[in-house]
């Protein structure tokens, strides 16, 4: 029997220990990699659909049917005098109603719960889950004087037509200034970077009456209308419809009116303005109405022009969260 020296025994033991250490290290490294992979946050994309619609005083049943048909999370509604908050809540929805400078009530109807209200009650904070909160504001601008009528030569509501653009601008600014001031204060108090401001503004967007529309004969003048211009300067990022459709000549996006008389103007006075952070974007903005000639969304078996005198607007925001 061959004798093994202690030197050889020590060498063999050392090699075995080294192999064991390598094996254990590789195993730990594999486990470490697995743990790190399991802890890597996943980016999840979600959507929030907000619509604005002048209800023209329609009852709750009609409004709830419309709400479900247009597939939204939040509806900013104006002229809501015949809405029943109790009936809305019975359907598992949330509702907030406020008056707007003596105008008929405005309501926000939501599938998500509210977590707060702005100081002037124009907006509500909506808890979307995953730590995301949106501030949704709803407003209704005074319906007279109506600037487009004045500049298009149409007498309305005790106001005569005028070719004096500065005079018309100032009259329209003055009658809606109280609303603008309150909206700006509500915006200044915002505690979230995700904000939408929707409504029937009774005035075109500051992005609609351009030199291009004037040259095309679509508007009599180029004019940055006061309400939205002030809100834009007050910190909002944009007008959702113009973000998706930047050319007002090819995409006027008219929301007034669904049942025009021969003398009526065609205007875009219902819209959603917004302010968002880098994890949020405007995915789409569509007109809801009576035909595909005027609208992007047409509801089957729904005679739109007999129900509402304004077209609606549906805006889809997409935002990302880490899970």
For the segment 81-96, what is each residue's pLDDT rounded down to a tens digit? 999 999 999 999 999 9
| Per-residue confidence band for 32, with pLDDT thresholds at 50, 70 and 90 | very low
What letter does residue 103 receive in the DSSP assignment?
S
Does the pLDDT value for residue 310 go beyond 80?
A: yes
58 contact partners, CB below 8 Å, separation of at least 6: 82, 307, 308
The mean predicted confidence, pLDDT, of the chain is 90
User: Which pLDDT score, from 0 to 100, does residue 104 have?
Assistant: 77
Gap between the terminal Cα atoms of the chain: 67
Does the pLDDT value for residue 291 go beyond 60?
A: yes
Q: Is the peptide bond before 155 cis (omega within 30 degrees of 0)?
A: no
Which has the minimum average pLDDT: 8-12, 31-35, 191-195, 268-272? 31-35
Provide mean pLDDT across the span 187-195.
98
Q: Are 201 and 147 in contact (CB under 8 A)?
A: no
More confident residue, 147 or 8: 147
- Sheet order of strands, 43-54 included: 94-98, 106-110, 74-78, 43-54, 312-322, 280-289, 297-298
What's the whole-model pTM score?
Answer: 0.87
Q: Are 207 and 242 in contact (CB under 8 A)?
A: yes
User: Which pLDDT score, from 0 to 100, does residue 34 have?
Assistant: 39
User: Which pLDDT score, from 0 to 100, does residue 12 have?
Assistant: 46
| Per-residue confidence band for 121, with pLDDT thresholds at 50, 70 and 90 | very high
Q: How large a percentage of the chain has pLDDT more than 90?
A: 80
Q: Which two tokens stand for residue 134?
A: 């949106």
d(CA 205, CA 216): 18
24 contact partners, CB below 8 Å, separation of at least 6: none
User: Which pLDDT score, from 0 to 100, does residue 265 have?
Assistant: 82
């Amino acid at each position: 029997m061959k004798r093994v020296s202690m030197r050889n025994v020590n060498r063999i033991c050392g090699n075995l220990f080294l192999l064991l250490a390598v094996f254990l290290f590789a195993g730990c490294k594999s486990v470490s990699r697995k743990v790190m992979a399991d802890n890597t946050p996943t980016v999840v994309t979600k959507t929030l659909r907000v619509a604005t619609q002048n209800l023209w005083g329609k009852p709750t049943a009609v409004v709830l049917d419309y709400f479900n048909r247009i597939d939204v999370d939040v509806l900013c509604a104006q002229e809501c005098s015949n809405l029943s908050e109790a009936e809305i809540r019975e359907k598992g929805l949330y509702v907030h109603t406020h008056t707007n400078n003596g105008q008929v009530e405005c309501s926000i109807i939501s599938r998500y719960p509210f977590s707060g209200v702005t100081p002037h009650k124009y907006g509500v904070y909506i808890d979307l889950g995953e730590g995301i909160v949106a501030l949704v504001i709803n407003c209704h601008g005074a319906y007279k004087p109506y600037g487009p009528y004045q500049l298009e030569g149409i007498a309305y509501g005790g106001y005569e037509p005028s070719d004096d653009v500065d005079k018309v601008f100032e009259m329209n600014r003055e009658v809606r200034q109280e609303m603008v001031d309150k909206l700006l204060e509500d915006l200044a108090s915002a505690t979230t970077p995700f904000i939408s401001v929707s409504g029937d503004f009774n005035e075109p967007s500051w992005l609609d009456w351009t030199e291009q529309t004037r040259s095309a004969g679509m508007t009599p003048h180029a004019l940055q209308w006061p309400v939205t211009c002030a809100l834009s300067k007050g910190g909002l990022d944009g007008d959702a419809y113009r973000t998706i459709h930047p050319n007002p000549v090819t995409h006027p996006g008219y929301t007034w009116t669904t049942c025009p008389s021969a003398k009526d103007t065609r205007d875009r006075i219902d819209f959603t303005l917004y302010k968002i952070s880098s994890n949020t974007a405007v995915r789409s903005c569509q007109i809801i109405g009576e035909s595909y000639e005027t609208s992007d969304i047409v509801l089957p078996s729904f005679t739109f022009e007999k129900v509402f005198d304004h077209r609606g607007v549906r805006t889809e925001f997409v935002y990302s969260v880490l899970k």
